Structure 1
Amino acid sequence: MEMLWNGLEQMLDSMWHAIPKIILGLVILGVGSYLVKLVLKVIRRRLEKRDVELSLRGFLLSVVKATLYIILLIVVAATMGFQVAGIATIFASAGLAIGLALQGSLSNFAGGVLVLLFKPFKVGDYISNPSGTEGTVERIDLLYTTLTGPTGLKIFSPNGPLANSVITNYSEITSRRHDFVVGIGYNENIKEAQNVIFAALAKHKAVLQSPEPIVFVSNLGDSSVDLNVRTWIGKADYWNTVFEIQQIIKVALDEANIEIPFPQRDLHIVSDKTK
C-alpha cells in the first residue's frame, strides 16, 4: 500500500512540475498560430501582387502552412518536455523514402513550379521545343502542361523536361520571318524575276514592308537558279499567308513567262559508225 501511495505521490509531483511547461506550450501554440496566419496573409498578398498563377499560389500557401504548423508543433512538444528527436527522425526517413519513390514526379513538379513562377509561356501561347513538343498551351498544371497540336491532337508534356529545354515562344513576337526557295531557269533574267516577286509580295496586305522582303540567289542548282524569298509576316496572319504568297508568286511568274523548271537530265548519244 505504501509503495502504491509513493508512486501516486511521485506522479502527482511530476504533473505539478509539468504544469508550467504545459501552460507555456499552450501559450506558444496560441501565439504561434497567430503568427502563422499573419505570415500566410503576407505571403498571399505578395503572390497576388506578383500575379502568380492561381494553381501555384494555392499550392505554395498550402506547403508553407503545413511546414510552419509542423515546426510550431515540434516547438510546442519540446517546450512541454516531449522527446521530439525520434519524431523528427521518423519524418525525415519517411520524406526520404517518398522522395526516392516519386523522383520522376518530383522532377515534373519542380518544373511545373518553375514554369508557373517564371512564366516562360502562358495559356494561349504557341510554343515548341527541340524534343518535338509543339502546340498552343491549353493548361498548365504542376506535373504536366497540356497543349493542342497543329493537327488538333492533345499533347501532355511533362513539366520537368519541358522546363529544362529550350522553349520557343511564338506568341511573344509581333512578326515572324518566312523563307522559301523558288527556282527559275538558267535562261531567265534574274533581275526581272526578282522584280516580279517583289511586286507580287507588295500586293499582299499581310506581308510586312518593314523589314522589307528580300529575294536573292541562294544556289545554282542542277536544273535551276534558286532564289531565296525572305519575308516578314504578322503573327496573326502567318499560317494563312505562308501558303498564299507561294501561290501568288507562282501565278506572277507564269504571267511574266518566267520558267520554273523541274529536275531534268540531258542525255547525249554518241554513235560510233563503222565503215
Structure 2
Amino acid sequence: MNTVIWDGRTVAEILTIEFLASAVGSVLAAIAIIILGFVIGGWVRRRLVSLGGKHAHLDITLFNFLGNVARYVIIGFAFLFVLNTFGVQTTSVVAVIGAAGLAIGLALQGTLSNVAAGVMIVFFRPIKIGDFVEVSGQMGTVKQITLNFIELASVSNVQIIIPNAQVWGNTIVNYSSYDTRRAEWTFGVGYGANLKLAEDTIRATILADPRAKTEPAPFIQVNNLGDSSVDFLVRVWCDSADFFGFQTDMKRQVKEALDDAGIEIPFPTRTVIQVQE
C-alpha cells in the first residue's frame, strides 16, 4: 500500500514526475545541443568561405569544400555528445557507423569514386570556377565544382554536367590557366606574288591590332610550298581573354589587306580536258 507523504501524492507519483521532468529536460538539452551544433557549424562554414572570398589569390572552391567539411564535423560531434549524454556508448556507435559505411561504400563504388576524384580536384586545383576548359570531349566555362560533378556552360550557354571521375581520370585542357596564348594562322599566296610584300602586309595588318603583342616577337615565315600556293605560317601572342576574337578577326582583315595590296590568294583549280572521238 502506497504511503501519502505530501498533498495527497504517493512516493511513486512523485518519482514518476521527477523522472518525466528529468527526461524532458534531457531531451530539451539534447535538442539545444543539436541546434547549437548546426548554428556553430553554419557559422564556421560562412567564416571559412568569407575568408576565401576576401583574398583574390585564394581559391574559393577550396574554402567552400573546407567549410562544408568543418560544418559536418561539428554537427557530427554534437550528435555524439548527445548520445554520450543519454548513456549510449559512442565507441559502439562509431563501430556500427564504420561497418555501415563499409557496406555502403561497396554498394556505391561509382559514387564514391566521384567523391574521391572531387577531393583531388579541390585540393590540386587543375581547374577553377570561371576557367574555360575542355574535359571529356566537352568544352565550356566552369560554373560549379562539387564533390560529385563539375558543371560547365558551353559556348552556346548549354549546361553540361560531368562526373568527377571522368574529369580526374581524363586529360584536362585548361585554356585559362595562363595569361597569354599564341594565335596561329596559315595564309597562302600565289607563286607569282611578291613574297616580301606579302610578309610585310600580313605583319602590318596583325600588329596594327591592339590585341597583338610585340613581345615575344611575332613569327611570320614561309612554311610550305603547296600545289597552288606559297603558305605563310603566322604565330602571334595575345591575352588569353582575347584569343578567340583575335584569331577570328585576323582571318578576314589579312585577306582584305592582301586584296588591297593586289596579292593573289589562290584557290585549287581543276582543268578538265574532254576528248571528242
TM-score by length of 2: 0.68
User: Structure 1 residues 167, 51: CA separation in 2 closer, same or farther (over 3 Å shift)?
Assistant: closer
Correspondence 1:56 to 2:65: yes
The 5-angstrom pairing of residues 104-183 of structure 1 reads 104-129=110-135, 131-183=136-188
**What corresponds to 2:106 in structure 1?**
100
| Amino acid paired to 2:67 | G
CA distance in 1, matches of 2:74, 2:109: 23
* Matched residue type, 1:139: Q
SS of match in other structure, 1:181: strand
What is the Cα-based RMSD across aligned positions, in Å? Answer: 3.5
Contact kept in structure 1, 2:48 and 2:67, CA below 8 Å: no
Mark the CA change 1:259 to 1:239 in structure 2 (over 3 Å): closer, same or farther: same
SS at match of 2:176: helix
Q: Does 1:191 align with 2:200?
A: no
Candidates 256, 260, 275, aligned match of 1:251: 256
How far 1:125 sits from its partner (Å)? Answer: 1.4
Compared with structure 1, are the counterparts of its residues 59 and 168 closer, same or farther at alpha carbon in structure 2 (3 Å cutoff)? same
Rate the CA distance shift 1:56–1:46 in 2: closer, same or farther, 3 A. closer
Amino acid at match of 1:125: D
Residue 270 of structure 2 corresponds to: 265
| Alignment-mate amino acid for residue 228 of structure 1 | L
- Give the Å deviation of 1:192: 1.9
CA distance in 2, matches of 1:187, 1:266: 19
Q: In 1, are the aligned partners of 2:48 and 2:63 still within 8 Å (CA)? A: no
Corresponding residue to 2:240 among 235, 240, 245? 235
2:252 and 2:160 map into 1 onto residues whose CA distance is: 32
Structure 1 residue 232: deviation in Å?
A: 1.1
Instruction: For 2:226 and 2:80, locate their aligned partners in 1 and report how far apart those are by CA, in whole Å.
Output: 73
Q: How many residues align?
A: 228
Quick one: distance in 1 between partners of 2:94 and 2:260?
Answer: 83
Q: Within 5 Å, which residues of 2 pair with 1:61-80?
A: 61-62=70-71, 64-65=73-74
Counterpart CA distance in 1 for 2:154 and 2:265 is 34
Q: Which residue of 2 aligns with 1:4?
A: none
With normalisation by structure 1, the TM-score equals: 0.69
Match of 2:13?
none
Unmatched 5+ stretches in structure 2: 1-36, 53-57
Q: Which residue matches 1:15?
A: none
The percent of aligned pairs where both chains have the same amino acid is 36
